[in-house]
Amino acid sequence: MSKPQSETEAKRQSKQEDQRKDLDREQVPDRAVGLTIMCLAIVFVAVWMALQSPQQIDSEKTGFSSPAQAAITGFLANAWFLPDEPLLGFVQIPAGPFIMGSNPALDRLAYENERWSSNRRQGTVQIDDFYIGLFEVTAAQFRVFIAEHPDLANEVPAEIQGDMPITNVTWPEALAYARWLQQKLENSSDTPEELRSYLAAGGQVSIPSEAEWEKAARGADGRIFPWGNTPSAASANYGSSAMLPVGSRPCAECAFGLQDMSGNVWEITRSPLQAYPYDPNDDAENLSEDALWVMRGGSFSDGVGNVRAAVRGGVDPSVRNNSIGFRVVISKP
Amino acid sequence: MAISASFKNSIRNSKNSADKQTRASMAAFKFPLVMSISLILLSFVPRVQGNFALVWSFWGAAATLLLWQAYLIVNSKNKNEEHVFSVVLRPQHYIQAMVQFSVYAYWGYYWRPVYDHAWLMLAQLLFAYTFDMLLAWSRRREYNLGFGPFPIIFSINLFLWFRDDWFYMQFVMIAVGFMGKEYVRWNRDGRSSHIFNPSAFALGLFSLVLIATNTTGLTWGQDIASTLTLAPNIYTFLFLVGLIVMYHFSITLVASMAAITLFGVSALYSASTGVPYFLDSEIPAAVFLGLHLLITDPSTSPRTPLGKTFFGLLYGLGVFGLYTLLGAMGEPTFYDKLLVVPLLNLSVIAIDRAVRSIHSTALLNVWKESWLGGRANLAHMSIWIVIFASMSFLGKTDNKHQGDSLPFWEQACASDLSNACGRMLQLEATYCADNAAWACNEIGAHYREGMITASNQELSMAYFSRGCELKFQAACLNLLDTELVAREVPHELDLRLLLREGGQNLMTLSEQELVERACEHDWVFACENNGA
């Protein structure tokens, strides 16, 4: 301060200075002790903060730390909890055409967005062969992925476990799981030869396009439901109060033997929601619109109208919902 | 000037009786006891109760203080020691505190987390008073009760505060600040004085630890540094409140020289490279705040006018250099203004000595004490006012800054101007963190292409994921096809974030105004739309 200090203040400061000098002379309590305590406090802070690595912070928040999970009947704990099936639960869908969209004359529950065009009710789409998961991706499968990506751990509800379908997963996270699974399958010597060859030939693990999904769900004959043309509560979990473990409503008569294509949880696809006719080549044409992706199959809480094979829902890519999950495919782009 | 009203007489009068002395000493302990209990009571306010770690931080701090008091009480009974305090109100404390409070009030009006932080600041004040008092008594010193802890706590919180889950570190930081003041001392001009500005010492040390342990995320440091500009005309506001401090404490030479140096070197850099040095301003608002309220502690800065001038000059150069150094190390650059202060504090004696060794009267009288009839500080302030007014007139303070325009950086990057691509990536990352989907997609594209930065597929996927979750279709397509680089112009919501120029998001601006503003920022698509 530039202003002159008052006499009182000067005296006070001088006295305090004397006090301090006396203290330092007396060495009681020792200044070195104080300095040591301060240095120890700083070292403690440094060590403690070094322990607060981002990964630890995440796992502490979520309580999810170990990939170890209990064995689940019908699934291979040593193969990322994929189904204990010859092709790890992948089912081949042969190449060929199928009928896409709805014919309101046959399907009175059809929605307008299932119509092919202004002058056609349905279309025929040709797709190459591909593989699709027998079941929806389960919580156990997704948790193996999370164990390697702990930053996602706090996003998935802890109560979804085991062979329940994984839900509350965003569209990018579903894709990230698919990419991760591809790496695992490519790098594992236990991957079935058929899948290994398909991957080596350019096959990619992803979520299905809506055409792939619909063909897998209704076969080539254009049936309304995966099992036929009439509703069957015994073949799918819909109109109920809760989702069930995958495959809880066995459906041998369903197209390609796939389970839960109708009901249980909605399944997101890699196709943007846009008007038919379906053409994967126009997916990148409308970039100025907000992203909205097709989801298929309806969920446990939906009525019969929404579990038809042709029904098309839309989902924002950031949405987490307890009735939306996904299934993976291996297909060639 | 200090106003002293001593409460200790009643205590002193009883010195003859050891019994009475002990009682008197015990009476003095009521103050820290009430403070500690108040700290516990504060832990029951809803703001604190909302977080378990926060509650425990309060209880832990209070328990430490209570244990310390208990030890001192037992010790003073055994040794018949007397602990006293007297009230000493110093203007450099309460004026500084009032100025800092006004900054909180203004800034918090535009960034609400500041107001939400008020309870936690009160807790820190309670802790600081008690800690400081117990520390003085542990050293068998009389405690001067005044507003001393206010500027220390306010100053620390203007730059760094820990998130709720790690709030106990805030108490440790305060403790380290006070211990630094008490224990890290030197002999200056024949008197023992603390070397470091207490708040700057704590901030500097903790900044080092946060950088070394890569744990900046545990604090609000980055948010604090970037949200000051949410308050409109913050530079003018800081300048005006800074004048109050300058008027009372003759820190004009320090603050103004630091500002002038930064303006100067920033302008030199810009002239030689074609791009601004700082991203969003000529001097970041937090640095401008720091040079008014962090480096201006009279007891830890030089005493001669020329020394103060050097001190300010070195602060400006230090911030300038550290900004580059931290950026090059990939560390958050907001630490620049914090790390340099303790180093400057250490150089104070050397600066004073260097100035005294100058035998040139002409040089020593560069800032003549005789100006304005001996009121040199007013003359210095007048010069600073003229300089700041000129800077404002030239649009170098609160106005739109060239570095705010992404098209400018795109152009500069394409022209391969100095570090422009790195700055563009930095700016895009900032906007992506603000939820501008376009920016996420752009930065993801850069990392996928590997043309202006090293290719990093993992990072690109992370940015595309974020862009996609923000509904940017191009980012989703980039996620689907790892060979693709889809791009799209910013959507309306992106523009509301990208064009904010460091201020509030433009949520209420009409679409037409938004397009016009985008065109002013040289977005070609916006100019075309505007023309159409």
Give the residue extent of every domain in chain A: 55-331
A46 vs A265: which has the higher pLDDT: A265
Contacts of B206 in chain A (CB under 8 A): 45
> Residues B441, B329: one domain?
no
Q: Do A290 and B182 touch (CB under 8 A)?
A: no
Domain end (from B371, B399, B427):
B399
Whether A52 and chain B come into contact, CB under 8 Å, resolves to yes
Whether A285 and chain B come into contact, CB under 8 Å, resolves to no
**Nearest residue on chain A to B488, alpha-carbon basis:** A287
Whether A55 and chain B come into contact, CB under 8 Å, resolves to no
> Residues B395, B410: one domain?
no
At residue A175, the pLDDT reads 96
Range A35-47 average pLDDT: 90
Q: Does residue B9 have a pLDDT over 70? A: no
At residue B418, the pLDDT reads 84
Q: Which of residues 219-278 of B touch A (CB under 8 A)?
A: 249-250
**Nearest residue on chain B to A19, alpha-carbon basis:** B141
Nearest residue, CB atoms, B169 vs list A45, A172, A290: A45
Share of chain A above pLDDT 70, in %: 86
Domain span at residue B470 reads: 403-531
Dihedral of CA atoms B104, B101, B343, B126 in degrees, nearest 10, equals: -110
Please write the tens of the pLDDT for every residue from B87-137: 999 998 999 999 999 999 999 999 999 999 999 999 999 999 999 999 999
Tokens of A178: 């698919």
Looking at the complex, report in whole angstroms how far the Cα of residue B462 sits from the nearest Cα belonging to chain A. 9
At residue B372, the pLDDT reads 58
- Candidates B60, B68, B67, B66; CA nearest to B169 is B60
> Residues B346, B258: one domain?
yes
> Residues B267, B391: one domain?
yes
Range B183-203 average pLDDT: 89
Evaluate whether residue B513 is within a structural domain: yes
At residue A22, the pLDDT reads 58
> Residues B385, B282: one domain?
yes
Q: Does residue B349 have a pLDDT over 70? A: yes
Please write the tens of the pLDDT for every residue from A107-153: 999 999 999 998 999 999 999 999 999 999 999 999 999 999 888 87
Contacts of B249 in chain A (CB under 8 A): 1-2
Options 3.90.1580.10, 1.20.1290.10, 3.40.50.300, 2.70.98.10; CATH of A55-331: 3.90.1580.10
Whether A20 and chain B come into contact, CB under 8 Å, resolves to yes
> Residues B507, B431: one domain?
yes
Q: Which of residues 447-466 of B touch A (CB under 8 A)?
A: 461, 464-465
Evaluate whether residue B301 is within a structural domain: yes
Domain end (from B399, B431, B452):
B399
Ranking B96-110, B263-277, B395-409, B471-485 by mean pLDDT, the lowest is B395-409
Phi and psi (nearest 5°) for B494? -60, -45
Cα Rg of chain B, angstroms: 26
Please write the tens of the pLDDT for every residue from B67-89: 999 999 998 888 888 888 899 99
Evaluate whether residue B75 is within a structural domain: no
The winner for highest mean pLDDT among A30-34, A169-173, B8-12 is: A169-173
Q: Do B469 and A6 touch (CB under 8 A)?
A: no
Whether B476 and chain A come into contact, CB under 8 Å, resolves to yes
Contacts of B473 in chain A (CB under 8 A): 272, 286-291
> Residues B457, B355: one domain?
no
> Residues B256, B351: one domain?
yes
ipTM over 0.90: no
Q: Do B192 and A272 touch (CB under 8 A)?
A: no
> Residues B391, B408: one domain?
no
Domain end (from B380, B399, B418):
B399
Nearest residue, CB atoms, B471 vs list A57, A206, A317: A317
Q: pLDDT tier at B327 (50, 70, 90 boundaries)?
A: confident
> Residues B385, B435: one domain?
no
Whether A237 and A325 have beta carbons less than 8 Å apart is answered as no
> Residues B303, B339: one domain?
yes
Whether B156 and chain A come into contact, CB under 8 Å, resolves to no
Q: Does residue B211 have a pLDDT over 50? A: yes
Range A18-37 average pLDDT: 67
Range B39-62 average pLDDT: 96
DSSP state of B491: P
Q: Do A172 and B249 touch (CB under 8 A)?
A: no
> Residues B361, B432: one domain?
no
Evaluate whether residue B168 is within a structural domain: no
Range B192-216 average pLDDT: 92
Whether A318 and chain B come into contact, CB under 8 Å, resolves to yes
CATH code of the domain in which B514 resides: 1.25.40
Phi and psi (nearest 5°) for A193? -60, -35
Whether B51 and chain A come into contact, CB under 8 Å, resolves to no
Q: Do A50 and B215 touch (CB under 8 A)?
A: yes
* Other CB atoms within 10 Å distance of the CB of residue A197: 11
Q: Does residue A7 have a pLDDT over 70? A: no
Please give the Cα distance from A160 to A142 (Å, whole number): 10
Question: What average pLDDT does chain B have?
Answer: 88
Please give the Cα distance from B271 to B262 (Å, whole number): 14
A193 vs A6: which has the higher pLDDT: A193
Evaluate whether residue B344 is within a structural domain: yes
Please write the tens of the pLDDT for every residue from B298-312: 788 888 888 889 999
Please give the Cα distance from B468 to B464 (Å, whole number): 6
Total structural domains in chain B? 2
Nearest residue, CB atoms, A176 vs list B172, B210, B465: B465
At residue B531, the pLDDT reads 67
Whether A257 and chain B come into contact, CB under 8 Å, resolves to no
Evaluate whether residue B112 is within a structural domain: no
At residue B2, the pLDDT reads 37
At residue A35, the pLDDT reads 87
B396 vs A97: which has the higher pLDDT: A97
Dihedral of CA atoms B267, B268, B271, B276 in degrees, nearest 10, equals: -50
Q: Do B209 and A28 touch (CB under 8 A)?
A: no
